[in-house]
């Protein structure tokens, strides 16, 4: 019983450590002083974040869904090594990601300079925000999708094929419906990761209000000029994150306790 008591105390202390900053945020609490808010900055950063993230997530689903499905189902030489490359952005520091994107897609980058010659400016533009969102969110989505499809019973897919269904029909009728909840969890986690990105966005996209200034960048800027704005925007991001967490929890429970992350 003694070891259970020790474990319980450790659990409570750890939980308090995690919750204390949220308590400090709640005690500060004057983000409800609406008369001190700069609504133009708030509206602009919300607009940039939401528009950029929605476009990015559309592209992430478009390319990540088939990639994750292939990762789950295909077997080939060096697959494990190649799969690891998909996850590399997840372990890189944001500053390194920003530098890599700048060296690749910046106006003087080895791809960006050719795009610039065509009149397509990637760095320090709205396109750079979208590209950053995609780069940091895509690996998370692909990983979640691959796990979700790997949990689908292959016997059901083989049975459907034996009954005459094409691979596309098997995917549409069997694989995707069974993996759908896991895919939605992966999408919500990927979106959360993208919209919260700070360092890479700062380096590659800059901090231009109404163009590249996302919610995290607006919070950073507001710390020096309008703490009320920073608190209010932080509260908005807290609510978004809480909504994602709760939604993912219930989707996971509805999926029989399995998780795609």
Nearest in space to 162 (alpha carbons), one of 174, 179, 147 = 174
Model-level pTM? Answer: 0.87
Q: By the 8 A CB rule, do 235 and 120 touch? A: no
Q: Is residue 100 situated within a structural domain?
A: no
Q: What pLDDT does 260 receive?
A: 44
CA–CA distance, 58 with 138 (Å, rounded to integer): 11
**For each of the chain's 261 residues, which pLDDT tens digit applies?**
677 888 889 999 999 999 888 887 777 655 556 667 888 999 999 999 999 999 999 999 999 999 999 999 888 888 888 888 888 888 999 999 999 999 999 988 889 899 888 888 888 999 999 999 999 999 999 999 999 999 998 889 888 888 888 888 889 899 999 999 999 999 999 999 999 999 999 999 999 999 999 999 999 999 888 888 888 898 889 888 888 888 887 877 765 555 444
CATH number for the domain harbouring residue 199? 1.10.3720.10
Q: Is residue 261 situated within a structural domain?
A: no
- CA angle at 62 for the pair 147 and 95, rounded to the nearest 5°: 75
CA–CA distance, 150 with 227 (Å, rounded to integer): 46
Residue with tokens 């952005």: 89
Q: Is residue 99 situated within a structural domain?
A: no
Q: Is residue 3 situated within a structural domain?
A: no
Q: Is residue 120 situated within a structural domain?
A: no
DSSP assignment of 97-120 = HHHHHHHHHSTTSTTHHHHHHTT-
Q: What pLDDT does 102 receive?
A: 93
Q: Is residue 157 situated within a structural domain?
A: yes
Question: What's the structural domain count of the chain?
Answer: 1
Range of the structural domain that residue 170 is part of: 36-94+129-254
Q: Is residue 146 situated within a structural domain?
A: yes
Phi, psi of 213 (to 5 degrees): -80, 105
Q: Is residue 101 situated within a structural domain?
A: no
Q: What pLDDT does 28 receive?
A: 63
């Amino acid at each position: 019983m003694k070891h259970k008591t020790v474990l319980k105390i450790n659990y409570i202390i750890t939980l308090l450590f995690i919750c204390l900053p949220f308590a400090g945020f709640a005690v500060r609490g004057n983000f409800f002083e609406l008369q001190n808010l700069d609504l133009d900055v708030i509206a602009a950063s919300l607009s940039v974040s939401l528009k950029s993230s929605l476009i990015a997530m559309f592209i992430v689903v478009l390319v990540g869904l088939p990639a994750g499905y292939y990762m789950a189902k295909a077997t080939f030489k060096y697959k494990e090594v190649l799969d690891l490359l998909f996850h590399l952005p997840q372990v890189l520091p944001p500053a390194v990601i920003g530098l890599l994107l700048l060296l690749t897609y910046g106006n003087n980058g080895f791809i960006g300079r050719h795009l610039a010659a065509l009149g397509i400016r990637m760095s320090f533009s709205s396109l750079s925000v979208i590209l950053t969102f995609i780069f940091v969110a895509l690996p998370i989505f692909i990983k979640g999708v691959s796990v979700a499809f790997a949990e689908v019973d292959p016997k059901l897919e083989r049975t459907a094929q034996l009954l005459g269904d094409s691979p596309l029909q098997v995917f549409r009728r069997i694989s995707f419906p069974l993996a759908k909840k896991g895919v939605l969890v992966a999408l919500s986690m990927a979106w959360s990761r993208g919209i919260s990105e700070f360092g890479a966005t700062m380096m590659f996209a800059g901090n231009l209000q109404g163009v590249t200034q996302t919610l995290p960048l607006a919070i950073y800027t507001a710390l020096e000029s309008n703490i009320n704005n920073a608190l209010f925007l932080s509260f908005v991001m807290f609510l978004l994150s809480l909504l994602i967490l709760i939604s993912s929890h219930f989707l996971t429970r509805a999926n029989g306790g399995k998780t795609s992350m």
